[in-house]
Amino acid sequence: MIDWNDRFWSKVAPEPNSGCWLWMASTDACGYGRFGVARSNVLAHRNAYVLVHGAIPGGMHVLHRCDVRACVNPDHLFLGTHADNMADMANKGRGAPPSGDRHWSRLHPEKRAYGDRNGSRRHRRRGETNSNASLTNSSAADIRALLARGAMQREVAAAYGVSQTCISRLAMGRTYAVPSNEIAAASGPDDVDAEPADSEERAR
């Protein structure tokens, strides 16, 4: 016959510095220990409380004084209501982040970065360097050339296997910014402030 008590404590390792008794077996996504008892799965710290202190009254939570979720030391555990649990969580800084008028951006609006100072603007990866890019910079250049010659966006999108929205955003310059060498090639070296060769002749 299985001795559930011995089986439970065999999965515990004392931590000498903090006094915590750490659960060494499986844990859930939140870091709390899980223990299988008679085809059911229970929280390890609740089971530790029951083994030492007795049954847990209905509606009560088992809280940690040490704030170590994997700890099952009965001396580090105490009972509390749901409200006690929420208050304990907030006091230890593990609650939901402040929202509304308590959010830091409302309390310190002068510290918010707007416009070009915003991190999303300063560190935005455009073109093929973006991990979500559907096109290479070379393909983007070819597409701009096709659109300039009058190609339909939906036809170009189908040819390159992307959505028309992708092509539309590229055409408006929102994605795949035009490299400076393309701008120079498109404008030509003599386009700026160029005067006709016969300007002097016509002025006479």
What are the residues facing 43 on neighbouring strands? 34
The CATH number of residue 33's host domain is 3.90.75.20
- Return d(Cα 27, Cα 117) in angstroms, integer: 42
Q: Write the pLDDT tens digit of every residue in 28-83.
A: 988 899 998 777 889 999 999 999 999 999 999 999 999 899 999 999 999 999 99
Does 79 reside within a domain? yes
Same domain, 8 and 82: yes
Note whether 79 and 133 are same-domain residues: no
pLDDT value at position 72? 96
Q: Are residues 15 and 54 in contact, defined by beta-carbon separation less than 8 angstroms? A: no
For all residues of the chain together, what is the average pLDDT? Answer: 77
pLDDT of residue 160: 87
| Other C-beta atoms lying within 10 Å of the C-beta of residue 69 | 18
Q: What is the pLDDT of residue 184?
A: 47
Query: Does residue 178 fall inside a structural domain?
Result: yes
Segments forming the whole domain that contains residue 83: 4-91
Residue whose C-alpha is closest to residue 127's, from 193, 173, 80: 173
What is the pLDDT at residue 195? 46
Shared domain check, 137 and 87: no
Q: Is residue 139 part of a domain?
A: yes
Torsion, Cα 30 36 37 40, to 10 degrees, reads 70
Together in a domain, 82 and 9: yes
Same-domain status, 24 and 78: yes
Q: Supply the pLDDT for residue 55.
A: 94
Tell me, yes or no, whether 49 lies in a domain: yes
- Does residue 195 lie within any of the structural domains? no
Residues 87 and 135 in one domain: no
> In this structure, is residue 198 part of a structural domain?
no
When computed from its CA atoms, the radius of gyration of the chain, rounded to whole angstroms, is: 33
Residue 54 domain flag: yes
DSSP E strands, the chain: 12-14, 21-23, 34-37, 40-43, 61-64, 77-80
* pLDDT tens for each residue of 114-142: 555 555 454 455 555 665 677 888 888 88
Number of domains in the chain: 2
Q: What is the pLDDT at residue 43?
A: 94
Provide mean pLDDT across the span 156-160.
88
Residue 11 lies in a domain: yes
Q: 83 with 24, same domain?
A: yes
